[in-house]
Amino acid sequence: LRLFNIAILFILLSISIRAEGDDLGWPREVQAENAKILMYQPQVESFTGDILSSRAAVSVTMKDSVNPVFGVVWTDAKVSVDKDTRTVDLLSITVTNVRFPNATEEHEKKIAALLEKDIPTWELTMSLDRLLVALELVEKESNASKDLKNDPPHIVYETTPSLLISIDGEPILQDIENTSLKSVVNTPFFLLYDTKGKNYYLKGGSVMWTANDLKGEWKTTTNPPKEVAELAKQYDEQINEDQEGLDMLKEEIPKIIVATEPTELVTTDGEITFAPISNTDLLYVENTDSELFLDIDSQEYFILISGRWYKSSSLNGPWSYVESDKLPETFKNIPPDSPKSGVLSSVAGTEQANDAVLDSYIPETSAIDRDDKSLEVAYDGDPQWEYIEDTDMHYATNTASSVIKYENAYYCCEEAVWYQAGSATGPWVVCVDVPDEIYTIPPSCPIYNVKYVYVYDYTPTVVYVGYYPGYAGSYVYGPTIVYGTGWYYRPWYGAYYYPRPVTWGFGVHYNPYRGWSFSFGLRYGGPHLWIGFGWHSHYRRGYWGARGYHGGYRHGYRHGYRSGYYAGRRDANRNNMYRNQNQRNNNIYNKKDNIKRNKDVPRQTDRKKTDFSSKNKNNVYGDKNGNVHKKTKDGWQQKDKNGWSSDKNKQRDRSGTVDRNKTVDRNKSLNNSYNNRQKSNQRYNSGRTNRTRSGGTRSGGRRR
């Protein structure tokens, strides 16, 4: 299976709920039967499949000795991640190598036997943030998505309250039985056409608009035709009314803008006003909720949409794409405490951008019951197939499910779990072996996101699965992340309408502690006040990418900077685009309808606890040759049989001659490990503080 070697870090072999803080710090102390063992913070070496390989400096004090012996131990471990508490359990630990260079051969064998027996019984938990930082020292396989599209959408600039009504192409009108009305099925908004009066009707909250031309002038009405009013009542039962939003609608009626092509709306609260950003040559537009800047030197505007940068000399365009590493250097100087620091995640070369990329390597995982047979795939008629370019596969076009026909089998990715069948209509069983070919699906295919769902392992009763942020539309693109592929996918329309994933029209924004979020116009009640999912029978899910993230299209009312962003928690599934802000965990596998598929895996209860040793500094490292080094204020020291001494003359070749080049390379590696460990501690401590502080709806960077 063509897996992401660097990305496949965490396999959830068990699900645990525990208080944040289980990462006790390093080093860890364990009392073995005949010795005291001290393990320093592991140094990551590689990730292959679901195995985390690392080495760690250790000291062993035998029961009959007062002096510790220092060495290095190499381990392989499967790992379990709890993203709510941001902790990682090392499971199924195997000791693969032990080296104690200053011990006799007999003593080294004795210590090795002790460690090989004892370490697999340890309960080792570490911070997810520490492990993320450790990735920076691993030679990573590039997982950046290629062939994404970055052509700018149509960007509309308004200085008055405005509402964007997005239609997926030219309107498709469907007769509503026993009425003179037709519904516009390729939008989730309440949008009707009255064939008698030749007028369109749009409803949002308690307000209704009407126009005789979709792209003409819309006016409010309190006296719609009876048939429209009756359907509006049914619609009201589908939405979650927000009283504050209703009140705001009564006070301030937005302008209606209808778009039938990929469009983004930029609104300022009156004429544009600027504010400076310290330490930069940038001004930001302060009376908008868009990420809009003016570069003083070039006098060009820069806007960030769906993780992509565009520039123009005029707010009315034309706009052109700018690669994140081609931005003016001044963007890197935006201070972390700036109101606009959130954009640093999309500025190549910044720590925030690197962190966002690293976060993309973390999957949500689960153990699925192999006996699950809950999947039923509905087609609009007989299955219709379309060729997936540059592959030997076809995908079904007339269904909301992601179904692939390959060779003599059928595969369906449903709610981030792979199923397999001998027929397009089933019966479906949980898949244990996904063909390599599936991971070659190009971004031009509307089910591109399924290539980010994996089967890692299986037993007779359980299949271990996981999905990456790409399943939810978040992709690594070069040195940063973006939302959506940028491709336009033709929807299916027959007896039913099946929309496809979209990139534009959301005002998508990334925040390192809330992930991707939408500018829904919270001022006017948010999406539930505007969108009734399923209020007419011909609309089907799918606009928001994976089925786990469906819910229909969005509206785009934005009233300057007061609108804010519709966002969730970062420590839940940060890629869940449409979520309850008060719900802690939005992992697809933990959704109410999906829990029944999960299978609990018993945890090993006899694992030996490891205790934080506060009296020992976390300043000991092991190099790749098994030598042990210590960082002091005077530089590096190496442990030998005579104790700790300067590293300067330790790197000798077999003839005893000092190899200066090897000394420099080794010290560079040690310094990298030291800096990496310092950064991991900072990120861990910073993350704990910020997770308790985060939760607002405005843009803002990670406090450090």
Decide if 533 is inside a domain.
no
* Statement: residue 691 has pLDDT above 50: no
> Which amino acid would we find at residue 500?
R
More confident residue, 116 or 547: 116
How far apart are alpha carbons 31 and 617 in whole angstroms?
A: 18
Q: pLDDT by residue (tens digit) across 536-551?
A: 444 444 444 433 333 3
279 pLDDT higher than 70: yes
Most confident of 7-21, 456-470, 641-655: 456-470
Cα of first residue to Cα of last residue in the chain, in angstroms, is 39
Domain count along the chain:
1
Whole-number pLDDT of residue 671: 75
Range of the domain at 123: 28-141+616-693
- Give the three-class secondary structure for 236: helix
pLDDT tens for each residue of 582-592: 333 456 776 66
User: What values do phi and psi take at 621, rounded to 5?
Assistant: -135, 155
Residue 646 is assigned to a structural domain of this protein: yes
Looking at residue 233, the DSSP 8-state letter turns out to be H
Per DSSP, the three-state class of 338 is coil
Residue 266 lies in a domain: no
Largest CA distance in the chain: 99
HSE toward the beta carbon, residue 183, CA cutoff 13 A: 24
Residue 300: Cβ within 10 Å count: 16
pLDDT value of residue 253: 80
Tell me if 70 is assigned to some domain: yes
Q: Is the dihedral of CA 216, 220, 221, 226 positive or negative?
A: positive
Q: Looking at the predicted structure, is the pLDDT value of residue 365 above 90?
A: no
Residue 58 CB-density burial (10 A; 0-12 exposed, 13-18 middle, 19+ buried)? buried
The rounded distance, in Å, linking the Cα atoms of 10 and 22 is 17
Please state, rounded to an integer, the average pLDDT across all residues of the chain: 77
Name the band, by pLDDT with cuts 50, 70 and 90, for residue 495: confident
Mean of pLDDT values over 412-423: 96
Average pLDDT over residues 201-219: 91
Residue 643 lies in a domain: yes
Q: According to the model, what pLDDT value does residue 585 have?
A: 47
The tally of CA atoms less than 13 A away on the side-chain side of residue 170 is 0
Is 212 a member of any domain?
A: no
Say if 684 falls within a structural domain.
yes
On whether residue 95 sits in a domain, the answer given is yes
**pLDDT category of residue 14 using cuts at 50, 70 and 90:** very low
Is 0.75 topped by the overall pTM? no
**pLDDT confidence of 173, banded at 50, 70, 90?**
very high
Residue 524 in tokens: 């006017």
